[in-house]
Amino acid sequence: MWNEQNLINLLSERIKNNCSKYTGCIPNAVANREGRYECQTGGHWTDGFWPGMLLLANVCKKDDVYIQEFEKYIPFFEERVANDPEVNAINGYIGLDHDVGFIFHLTAVFHFRLTGSAVSEKISLQAADALAARFQERGAFIRAWNDWEHDTPEFRELKKGKAIIDSLMNLPLLYWASRHTGEVRYAQIASCHANTLMRNIVREDGSTYHTFQFDPATGEPKGGKTAQGYADDSCWSRGQAWALYGLALNYRHSSDEQMLATALRCAEYWQRSLLPNGDAPWDFAAPRTERLPIDTSAMAIAACGLLELASLLPERSDLLQLARATVRRLIDAHLAPASLEPNAFLLHGCVGPSYFKGSQEEATGEYGYGTDQPLIYGDYFFYEALLRLNNSSVVLPWF
């Protein structure tokens, strides 16, 4: 049976071996079912997770090879944060949206904190400005997605009033920028957005909508929608994990007791909604058939959130116990076996929408791309959870 330190050593060595496999490229968000990632050609919201793992490994193992490999990516992040749309178009990058923190907080901000790099400092502040610029005064929220080529005119209009649960994990970038520059506007935007989501995207029972719609003209709340969950009024498990971890992190930065209380409600909903074996289904309201996909990435994110809450509420020993049980379940049932020589850490992730309603997949019971596959962000948060469990004082990018 794996213990935490032995597994950290194995995964840290796998990260080192992956350096020669990726040779400076960014791996795809989704690996094949054997646990191998290919390299992507353009930008994506997941760009920060592999380079971010290099920095986590450096903090853990004190081996310069990890930070030296990370620094090969600095020119990529300089281009990625460029404000000039022509630069981004030439390089094939998707425009920056609400996920700016995932890309740059785990990388440039953390690298600056670890090394004092002036280049990473500049990238970090540009990223914070890009995220702050998405704040909508009407409705008091940070706008979610950009326009995409295949959008209908109606959907483009709706996007002007759309907020998303994932954004809670990106707000630490703004809190960092506020501390670093002394400009309170960054923290004010972060706090205002978090409070808007607490009121609208978190339900009374502690469950969450994936996205929430506001009237683009007036900011009036209109209701919840899903893009990756089972239904608009269901609870997508990865979104729930983003909420419980994101709100706990926001409390750490803001000391807003309502954020802590809401994070705890989200955690309690998570706990009572798991499958009997401790797995998280892709959506907590999806029909619990034999072929119901689970999402190990949601479990890894939730484990980190539970560990954060446990550190804030030491009297709640149940939170630490649940985090440990979740990590143990991931190790015992979902670890990518070394015999496959994988790049990935965890199998059985789910991107969603994983149940294609009305399609051949539904008729046959088969699921499509992005189900039952490793996910780069699942690997990142699994590694983070192991580091947290093994060393409560480990340096993390979030603070």
Task: Confirm whether 285 is domain-assigned.
Answer: yes
Task: Confirm whether 397 is domain-assigned.
Answer: no
Contact 308, 321 (CB under 8 A): no
Nearest to 51 by CA among 80, 71, 23: 71
Cα gap 78→82, rounded to integer Å: 6
Query: Helix, strand or coil for residue 148?
Result: coil
pLDDT (0 to 100) of residue 84: 67
User: Tens digit of pLDDT for each residue in 310-346?
Assistant: 999 999 999 999 999 999 999 999 999 887 778 999 9
Residue 249 corresponds to which tokens in the numbers above?
A: 């992190």
Cα gap 309→266, rounded to integer Å: 11
User: Tens digit of pLDDT for each residue in 125-147?
Assistant: 999 999 999 999 999 999 999 98
User: Tens digit of pLDDT for each residue in 231-284?
Assistant: 999 999 999 999 999 999 999 999 999 999 999 999 999 999 999 999 999 999
Q: Is the pLDDT of residue 364 over 60?
A: no
Binned at pLDDT 50, 70 and 90, residue 289 comes out as confident
Reading phi first (left if > 0) and then psi (alpha if -120 to 50, else beta), residue 341 is in left
User: What rounded mean pLDDT belongs to the chain?
Assistant: 92
pLDDT (0 to 100) of residue 367: 53
pLDDT (0 to 100) of residue 358: 37
Task: Confirm whether 399 is domain-assigned.
Answer: no
Q: What DSSP character marks residue 211?
A: E
Reading phi first (left if > 0) and then psi (alpha if -120 to 50, else beta), residue 365 is in left
Length of the chain: 399
Model pTM score: 0.95
Task: Confirm whether 271 is domain-assigned.
Answer: yes
pLDDT (0 to 100) of residue 360: 38
Q: Is the pLDDT of residue 384 over 90?
A: yes
157-161, 163-167, 279-283, 296-300: range with lowest mean pLDDT:
157-161
User: Tens digit of pLDDT for each residue in 182-216?
Assistant: 999 999 999 999 999 999 999 999 999 999 999 99
Nearest to 347 by CA among 335, 359, 365: 335
Residue 287 CB burial class (10 angstroms; 0-12, 13-18, ≥19): exposed
Residues 6+ apart with CB under 8 A from 39: 22, 25, 26, 27, 28
Q: What is the tally of structural domains in the chain?
A: 1
Q: Is the pLDDT of residue 176 over 70?
A: yes
Binned at pLDDT 50, 70 and 90, residue 33 comes out as confident
Binned at pLDDT 50, 70 and 90, residue 361 comes out as very low
User: Tens digit of pLDDT for each residue in 53-108?
Assistant: 999 999 999 999 999 999 999 999 999 998 766 667 666 777 899 999 999 999 99
Cα gap 183→191, rounded to integer Å: 14
Task: Confirm whether 152 is domain-assigned.
Answer: yes
pLDDT (0 to 100) of residue 175: 98
Name the amino acid, one letter, at 374: P
Domain that includes residue 86, residue range: 4-357+368-390
Task: Confirm whether 185 is domain-assigned.
Answer: yes
Name the amino acid, one letter, at 249: L
Residue 123 corresponds to which tokens in the numbers above?
A: 């990238």
Q: Which residues does the annotation mark as catalytic?
A: 99, 166
Binned at pLDDT 50, 70 and 90, residue 46 comes out as very high
In this structure, are strands 141-142 and 135-136 parallel, antiparallel, or unpaired?
antiparallel
Residue 388 corresponds to which tokens in the numbers above?
A: 């947290």
Residue with tokens 């499958």: 275
Residues 6+ apart with CB under 8 A from 96: 80, 81, 103, 127, 130, 131, 146
pLDDT (0 to 100) of residue 365: 44
Residue 192 corresponds to which tokens in the numbers above?
A: 């205002």
pLDDT (0 to 100) of residue 53: 98
Task: Confirm whether 395 is domain-assigned.
Answer: no
Task: Confirm whether 179 is domain-assigned.
Answer: yes
Contact 237, 298 (CB under 8 A): yes
Binned at pLDDT 50, 70 and 90, residue 363 comes out as very low
Residue 358 CB burial class (10 angstroms; 0-12, 13-18, ≥19): exposed
Q: What DSSP character marks residue 352?
A: S
At 217, which CATH number? 1.50.10.10
pLDDT (0 to 100) of residue 89: 65
Cα separations (Å) of 351 from 149, 167, 234, 280, 296? 21, 17, 16, 13, 10
Q: What DSSP character marks residue 164?
A: E
User: % helix / strand / coil in the chain, to the nearest 5?
Assistant: 55, 10, 40
Q: Is the pLDDT of residue 362 over 80?
A: no
